[in-house]
Amino acid sequence: MTPRQITALVTFVIAIFLAICAGISIALEDYSLLILAATLVILGGLLITPGYAPLLVFGLLTPFALPLPLIWNLPFLFLALGICVVKYWFQRGLSPAKEAPISTMHWSFGLFFGWVFIRYCLNPSIPNMMGFGQNVTGFRSWLSYSLCFGALFFLGRFVANRPGLLKLVRSLAVVSIFFSVLLLAASFSKSMAVGTILMYLGMYVTMFDNGLLRFVVLPGFGLIMLSLAMLPNLLTIKPLARWGLVMIGICAIIVGGESLFARRSCYRFFRHSPAASQVPAGRGRYRGNSCCCRCRLFRRSHFKPAS
C-alpha cells in the first residue's frame, strides 16, 4: 500500500470510531465519551505527526488556558511542551539517524534558573486544586519559570536545522494572524457574552468607553507580526502579503490599547521599509552580515544546507 492509501485508511477508521462514539453519546445524552474519544484522537495525531514547530508555537502564543475542572488557569504551554518532549524521545529512540541538537542554553540562563531553583528550595510552595484548602499558593509563578526553562532547553532539540527554523518562523506568523483576526472580530462585536466566555478561558478582558472589548494580548501579536515583516530572509512572502501583515499588526496594537507603541512601530517600519520590502539576491539564504545571522541561534554553521 502507498502512504496515501494508508493515510486514507487511517482517516476512514478514525471517522468511523468518532461516528460510533457520537451515536452512543447522543443516545445516552452524555457527551463525555465523545469528548474523551476526540481528545484521544487529537493527542494521537499530534504524537504521530512529524514536526514540533506548529505545536510549540501554538502552546507559546495561545492566550487561553486549559479549562480543567479542578485546576484553574493551567497554561496551554504545559500540555504542548509535554507532547513535544514525548514526541522527541519517541523519535530519538526509534530513528536510527540521530540529529545533533543545538545548544540554546547560555551560562547566564543557567545562573538565572539556578538562582530561581534555590529561591524555590528556600520557600517551596506546592500546587493546589481550586476548592481544596488555600486558593492562592504562589505555585503558578514557579511553574511559569519551569516552562520557560523547558522551552529554552528543548528549543535547540526541536529546531535543529534551517528548514525547522523557517517552519518555526512561519508558524509564528500564522498563529499570530489567526489569534489577531479572531480577537479583533471579538473586539468589534462589543458582546459581553463573548467577553465572558473568553474570561472563563483565562483571558483578561476589559472594555473601552466606546464599547469595544480590549484584549491585552493583542499588542503582543501585533509586535510579532511587525517584527517578522522586517525579516524578509526568514519570512519569505510576497510584498503585498508583507504589507498586509503590517496592517494587521498595527490594528492589533491599536485595538489592544497601545497607540503610542503603534506610532513608534509604524515610524520604525516605514523608516526601514526599503530594506524590509526589498529581498536581496539569493532569496531565502542566510548572509553573514544580515540581522538574522548575528544571533547565535541563527548562524549558518548551526544549520545543514537546505536540500
pLDDT (average), residues 204-219: 83
Which pLDDT belongs to residue 215?
87
Residue 29 has pLDDT above 70, yes or no: yes
* Grid cell at residue 196: 465572558
pLDDT of 151 strictly over 80? yes
Report yes or no: 169 and 235 within 8 Å, Cβ to Cβ: yes
Q: Which residue is listed with cell 544571533? A: 295
Mean of pLDDT values over 17-25: 83
Domain count, the chain: 2
Reduce the DSSP state of residue 74 to 3 states and report it. strand
| DSSP letter for each residue of 116-140 | HHHHHHHS------TTSS-S--SHH
Mean pLDDT, to the nearest integer, of 115-133? 74
Which percentage of the chain shows pLDDT scores above 70?
74
- Per-residue pLDDT tens digits for 52-92: 888 888 888 888 887 666 666 778 888 888 888 888 887 77
Residue 97 in any domain: the answer is no
205 within 8 A of 213, measured Cβ to Cβ: yes
- Of residues 4 and 143, more confidence is placed in 143
pLDDT digits (tens, 9 = 90+) for 253-286: 888 876 555 555 555 555 555 444 444 444 444 3
**Does residue 70 lie in a domain region?**
no
Of 126-135, 262-271, 283-292, the range with the lowest mean pLDDT is 283-292
User: Quick one: pLDDT band at residue 301, thresholds 50, 70, 90?
Assistant: very low
Is residue 307 exposed (0-12), middle (13-18) or buried (19+ Cβ within 10 Å)?
A: exposed
* Phi and psi angles of residue 39, each rounded to the nearest 5 degrees, phi first: -65, -45
The amino acid at residue 74 is L
Q: Which domain holds residue 222?
A: 162-302
Cα–chain-centroid distance for residue 149? 16
Tallying the residues shown for the chain, one arrives at 307
Q: How far is CA 235 from the centre of its chain?
A: 17
Across 1-10, 181-190, 206-215, 290-299, least confident range: 290-299
Which whole number is the average pLDDT over 148-161? Answer: 85
Q: Is residue 297 part of a domain?
A: yes
Least confident range of 66-80, 189-203, 227-241: 66-80
* Other residues' Cβ atoms within 10 Å of the Cβ of residue 160: 18
Look at residues 74, 50, 52, 72 and name the one whose alpha carbon lies nearest to residue 62.
74
Listing DSSP states for 25-56 in one string gives: HHHHT-THHHHHHHHHHHHHHHHHS--SHHHH
Assign 70 to helix, strand or coil. coil
Assess if residue 64 is contained within a domain: no
Does some domain include residue 92?
A: no
CB of 92 within 8 A of CB of 98? yes
Residue 11 is assigned to a structural domain of this protein: yes
Of the pLDDT bands very low, low, confident and very high (cuts 50, 70, 90), residue 21 is confident
Identify the residue with better confidence: 266 or 22.
22
Query: Would 110 be classed as within a structural domain?
Result: no
Per-residue model confidence (pLDDT) at position 166: 86
Q: At what angle do helices 259-271 and 218-229 cross, to 10 degrees?
A: 0
| Rg of the chain (C-alpha set) | 22
Contact status, residue 293 vs residue 280, Cβ threshold 8 Å:
no
pLDDT at 97: 66
